[in-house]
Structure 1
């Protein structure tokens, strides 16, 4: 009984150490990339950036510190910061704003939740805007509401001198996940109209070679800022527990179970065998080609519904600068291919995926 209790204590202690290290010391690399125009994940802004480029809007990525914002001279400029709240870097330059520029902070305010539903849709002059948060700014004092409901403001404007600051309660106002919503992309595009639009990528880790004014980190600081630190600290904590327990097992040795058959994989292999024997390569071309086209469309900001080939090829040429013939091979002239032709076609799909600029 005493041995069982001892094993239980050591097991719980080891679990507590690992959970604590993971929760409190794990780096927030996912939070850093959230909101980046280089990101293709649902919380990224790559699709919106491509959308703005297709509109012919002068939009660029800012990769310097905010202290260097004064390099952008004149008025009518816009700076956008996406999801800076968890990084402590939402620091609008009031002098730059006062002379007639706009600063937009998406998700930079820590507001309390209200009784509003989590997922709501709101009318705007650019269509329905989908918002997924119950947080609201409940006070309208000194602000101009741009989007909201009876629970409070979702997007609002605060005048500063000749310029203005625009806040949104959610950092995902025009994230990739909302590219199929009718109003989200156009609504944010309407807010950022101006002579030149900049998106702060410095706070997401994308920095110019010239931006080296920050103090150099020590090796310890570097390790603590990478996922390796979590592995090291967990290993140290587990080693301490094992030494304390004299390297004894926490329970009886368990026999190795026989590996289970993956039903999905087995079905796929069986279907592939049947199609190969029947020579039905057109089925493979249709299914695989359609899925590849959808993946490329989403990366180009064209949504998740199949578009005409001409539209897709035109967007490919404009956004990647690569020849149209390269993508045109995605659509073979004949559906039924020989074995060698099918292998060659699949190899070309792989080359397209590997050479894709945002892969």
Structure 2
């Protein structure tokens, strides 16, 4: 009886340890949320610049709702939306966002983008608003309209989209707190937003995890169950609960056996053991492995790319990966498609499939290392 109780608590402890570990891995860190946020007071935050904009009475406010809500709330099509992505965040402008821009709105993205060039890491550029300090070797050499550039390419450029436009900046730190003593940076970004033609400037804090009370209430009541359905967490939860319930049932049966020694319980115990073995055997199914590992690898890939936690559409994920690695998306598209169809693979093909996922992740690590070395 004592051994049965120990095994029961051991399995319960392991189950909840896995849940806690997954939560820690999936949840974004506090530092990542604050990087680029107007609530952040660290050097990579934007609190000082936001206060600067308020002092000059700019029509600016923090936006703490989803992009879908933004589309529904503003129909005048004269909005300038500023997005400052954090240290490791990667972005990709979606088809929905481009359609919104085409109606006459402006989207301004500050992120690590463009190619790493031989430009000096720290440069100063004279503008009508004073010297603008830029600290990145990234430049864009494509044929877009440059707003700020040097001999190595465009530092800030814009892409016309029908009645609107998208403005790109190669660094997320253009007007961060670290540049408070470089007023040219603050004035330059302010003019960039105010001259875009919009009647209102919104700073997207939703991408940093900040949500107003109304949004929190709506998402907590309507999206929690949907979120669980779209993650492997639900699978683990259901299987863990089933195993725990079986163990509890076995444990109770053991106590009943102690009360009545004359009752033959060997066969009953064997049935419970067989039931548990059946569950574990199902967990080793190749199709189950492909589906489960495929979803876990996709979540890991989303985290490395800086995308939001939760199920992402295949197009956005492939676009973000391709933009960062500059590699052909054929392998990634094949892996995502295979995870969805859950084909039956033999041992050799299954190992090859897992190696391909490892290659996908290594491309991101390689690009990040290359960027750090060159900067």
Q: Aligned match of 2:204 in 200, 210, 229? A: 200
Please state if 1:135 is matched with 2:138: yes
Q: CA deviation at 1:204?
A: 0.8
Please state if 1:81 is matched with 2:83: yes
Sort the Cα spacing of 1:169 and 1:66 in 2 relative to 1 into closer, same or farther, 3 A. Answer: same
Q: CA deviation at 1:89?
A: 5.2
Match of 2:188 in 1: 187
Secondary structure of 1:60's aligned partner: strand
Sort the Cα spacing of 1:58 and 1:97 in 2 relative to 1 into closer, same or farther, 3 A. Answer: same
Q: CA deviation at 1:95?
A: 2.1
Sort the Cα spacing of 1:85 and 1:75 in 2 relative to 1 into closer, same or farther, 3 A. Answer: farther
Q: Aligned match of 1:72 in 63, 71, 74? A: 74
> For structure 1, which runs of at least 5 residues remain unmatched after alignment?
1-20, 223-359
Q: CA deviation at 1:30?
A: 1.5
Q: CA deviation at 1:94?
A: 1.6
Match of 2:93 in 1: 91
Sort the Cα spacing of 1:221 and 1:83 in 2 relative to 1 into closer, same or farther, 3 A. Answer: farther
Q: CA deviation at 1:32?
A: 2.0
Sort the Cα spacing of 1:171 and 1:53 in 2 relative to 1 into closer, same or farther, 3 A. Answer: same
Distance 1:64 1:85 in 2: 22
Please state if 1:120 is matched with 2:123: yes
CA-atom RMSD in angstroms: 2.6
Sort the Cα spacing of 1:89 and 1:169 in 2 relative to 1 into closer, same or farther, 3 A. Answer: closer
Secondary structure of 1:183's aligned partner: helix
Higher helix fraction: Structure 1 or Structure 2? 2
Q: Which moved more, 1:158-167 or 1:87-96?
A: 87-96
1:42-87: CA deviation from partner (whole Å, max 9, x where unpaired): 0000011111101111101111111222122213210011016844
Whether contact under 8 Å (2:90, 2:112) holds in the other structure is: no
Secondary structure of 2:190's aligned partner: helix
1:272-316: CA deviation from partner (whole Å, max 9, x where unpaired): xxxxxxxxxxxxxxxxxxxxxxxxxxxxxxxxxxxxxxxxxxxxx
Match of 1:229 in 2: none
Whether contact under 8 Å (1:69, 1:96) holds in the other structure is: no
Q: How many residues align?
A: 197
Match of 2:340 in 1: none
Secondary structure of 1:30's aligned partner: helix
Sort the Cα spacing of 1:66 and 1:77 in 2 relative to 1 into closer, same or farther, 3 A. Answer: same
1:240-265: CA deviation from partner (whole Å, max 9, x where unpaired): xxxxxxxxxxxxxxxxxxxxxxxxxx
Distance 1:157 1:37 in 2: 23
Distance 2:168 2:35 in 1: 17
Sort the Cα spacing of 1:214 and 1:165 in 2 relative to 1 into closer, same or farther, 3 A. Answer: farther
Whether contact under 8 Å (1:81, 1:90) holds in the other structure is: no
Secondary structure of 2:130's aligned partner: coil
> For structure 2, which runs of at least 5 residues remain unmatched after alignment?
1-20, 235-375
Whether contact under 8 Å (1:155, 1:166) holds in the other structure is: yes
> What TM-score results when the alignment is normalised by the length of structure 1?
0.51
Please state if 1:177 is matched with 2:186: no
Secondary structure of 2:183's aligned partner: coil
1:126-168: CA deviation from partner (whole Å, max 9, x where unpaired): 11100111111122x1x21011100011100100010000000
